[in-house]
Structure 1
Amino acid sequence: MSQIEIAEIIEQIKQEIQINANGQGKASVRAAARLANVNDAGLLRSLKTAADISRSKLVERLIYKGFEGADILSWSESGIPDVAVATILHYYGYEAGKRCTTQAKLACEAFESIGVRAWIQDLLGWTKPATSTETAMTQIQLLAAIAQQMAQQEQYLLEQQQQQTQILARLKAVEVEQDRVNTPCGHKYSVVGFANLQGLEISVKEAGAKGRKASALCRKQGIEIERIHDPRFGKVGLYPESILVEVFKVEQN
């Protein structure tokens, strides 16, 4: 007999165990007998001696623990109280002489640390009902938690709105820059930038000459020439792609 087998027996008798609203457990005579590994009919006969002048040693032990004879007689119908189950297990584990069983001893040892009542409460998932004060405190704590969660959610939404505003501002700036650079004639480039885009090498002198020609074509067509800062030349002009294509094409021809 092992604690594993005790656990298996407990699972088998689970349906014969009850618990009331106060957390007090009861087990059937059969369940108590299974735990102690004794005959349930024999246990019942022993309990019924509570009505006799000559009582069994088990009944005497139960009465010594504070149980009334009339109550003991009713256990066959109402079930054995959890504390009485502990007494029965201890009796058949250590005090029953030749009728002592190893299983009763193991079961008794298994329950000593937590108590039979705590075991039954845990087995059947019972929890102590909250008092009105505890319930009120729980509701207050719940409301506080909800309020805090809503505040955090509001802060999160504000941060999201700020980020969205920043993103929209950046997109607007990009659109403005695209509108500024893009023209019906195409994108605008500096002479050197356009040459690099075409994979062409160009000297400073050639870049200056092409820039002057591009400027002349722009003035002729009424196209405004934009100027940007350049680390090498100070300021350079930006010319529509169509103008630069024409300038480079003429030079290549």
Structure 2
Amino acid sequence: MSHIEVAQIIEQIKQEIEVDASGKAKASVRATARLAGVDEKAIRHTLENAEQKPSKLAVMLMEQGFQSAELRGWRTDGIPDKAIAIILEYYAFYANRYCNPQARLVCRSFNTIGIRAWIQEKLGWTKPTTANESALTQIQLLAAIAAQMAEQEQRLLQQQQQQAEILHRLKDVEIEQDRFNTPSGHKYSIVGFANLQGLEISAKEASTKGRKASALCRKQGIEIERIHDPRFGRVGLYPESVLIEVFSSGQN
């Protein structure tokens, strides 16, 4: 007898096993006999004669607290899970020449998890939750959700930090590339550079500094770009390095 064959038997008798609201399980006489690997008549005989001529099996059942009258009722009402375990144990080890390997195999399997737990699992029975248990479940659920959200938030912060670091590195690369492409610095008009430095400058001063900046550009061989300014007409754009020198000399 293999575990596969036992599984097949269990599947066949599944409809003859039930669990009540409290989780107590029971099985029909036929289902119990199939599990134990014996003829159904043998178990029925034990139950029917429990009061007048109790068999060795009946005695074992009554020693565990069952009454002889109860045994007779099991023929129609079904055999309780604890009694099933005793019957399996009997045919596994104490039935002398009626002992069989199937009963031993099933008995060992049930001893591992318990007959009641096994039947509950097979029938998908779960213990009804009380109000306190339901509340606790909700609290645990909320805690789990909160923990999950905290984890997601932490991952988001890490991603944002990584993105900020990447942007910072890209900015450094852009600055270095810009420095390479425009060694003299960005170009500004006189008034634009003054505004950038937070300085006030008159039109006369702007004109004077413009002439100085133009002279420095010609001296250094730098081409002066011209743009249209609505206030001054066409004005020159000078490299930042030139403007720094012009404005610095004007402050001395």
TM-score bracket for this pair, using the shorter chain length: 0.5 to 0.7
5+ residue gaps, structure 2, are: 165-180, 186-216, 247-252
Give the equivalent residue in structure 2 for 1:83.
Answer: 82
Contact 1:29 1:79 in 2 (8 A): yes
2:18 is paired with a residue of what secondary structure?
A: strand
Assess, with a 3 A threshold, how the Cα gap between structure 1 residues 223 and 65 changes in structure 2: closer, same or farther. same
Please say if residues 29 and 75 of structure 2, whose CA atoms lie closer than 8 Å, have aligned partners that are also in contact.
yes
SS of structure 2 residue aligned to 1:129: coil
The aligned residue for residue 196 of structure 1 is none
Q: Distance in 2 between matches of 1:215 and 1:25?
A: 96
Deviation at 1:229, TM superposition (A): 3.0
Deviation at 1:146, TM superposition (A): 5.1
Q: Name the CA distance, whole Å, in 1 between partners of 2:60 and 2:226.
A: 121
**Secondary structure of 2:82's partner?**
helix
- Aligned-pair RMSD on alpha carbons? 4.2
What TM-score results when the alignment is normalised by the length of structure 2?
0.61
Name the CA distance, whole Å, in 1 between partners of 2:17 and 2:27.
Answer: 4
Distance 1:191 1:141, change over 3 A: closer
Residue identity in the other structure for 2:105: L
Find the residue that maps to 2:74 and give its secondary structure: helix
Q: Is the 8 A contact 1:47 1:58 kept in 2?
A: no
Partner of 2:33: 33
Classify the secondary structure of the residue corresponding to 1:225: strand
1:121 aligns with 2:120: yes
Residue 133, structure 1, aligned to residue 132, structure 2: yes
Judged with a 3 Å threshold, the aligned counterparts in structure 2 of structure 1 residues 91 and 208 are, in CA distance, closer, same or farther, namely same
Letter in 2 for 1:82: D
1:87-122 CA distance string (max 9 Å, x none): 111111122222222211221122122221121122
> In the aligned structure 1, how far is the partner of 2:239 from the partner of 2:245?
6
Using the alignment, how far apart are the partners of 1:63 and 1:83 within structure 2?
Answer: 12
Instruction: Give 1:137 deviation, angstroms.
Output: 2.5
**Is 1:222 aligned to 2:234, yes or no?**
yes
Residues 131-181 of structure 1 show CA distances to partners (whole Å, capped at 9, x for unaligned) of 33333323333445556667788x68x97xx99xx9xxxxxxxxxxxxxxx
Q: Does the aligned pair in 1 maintain the 2:226–2:237 contact within 8 Å? A: no
Sort the Cα spacing of 1:235 and 1:44 in 2 relative to 1 into closer, same or farther, 3 A: farther
In the aligned structure 1, how far is the partner of 2:132 from the partner of 2:36?
42
Q: Deviations over 1:41-99 (max 9, x none)?
A: 33222211124x22232222211221112211111221110110011111111222222
CA distance in 1: counterparts of 2:81 and 2:227, whole angstroms:
106
| 8 A Cα contact 2:19 2:119, kept in partner | yes
- Counterparts of residues 161-172 of structure 1 (less than 5 Å): none
5+ long unaligned stretches in structure 1: 167-188, 194-204, 237-253
Retained in 2: the 8 A contact 1:191–1:210? no
Contact 1:36 1:92 in 2 (8 A): yes
Q: 1:217 to 1:22 in 2, by over 3 A?
A: closer
Distance 2:58 2:123 in 1: 28
Q: Distance in 1 between matches of 2:227 and 2:126?
A: 91
Query: Residues of 1 paired with 2:226 and 2:81: CA distance?
Result: 108
Q: How many residues align?
A: 194
The verdict on how the C-alpha distance between 1:217 and 1:117 changes in structure 2, with shifts beyond 3 A counting, is: closer
Q: How does 1:192-211 map to 2 (within 5 A)?
A: 208=220, 211=223
| Native 8 Å contact 1:218 1:225 kept in 2 | no
Matched-pair contact (CA < 8 Å) for 2:225–2:236 = no
Structure 1 residues 177-192: aligned runs within 5 Å? none
* Partners of 2:74 and 2:147 in 1: CA distance: 53
More moved, 143-152 vs 126-135: 143-152
**Distance between the aligned counterparts of 2:105 and 2:143, measured in 1?**
48
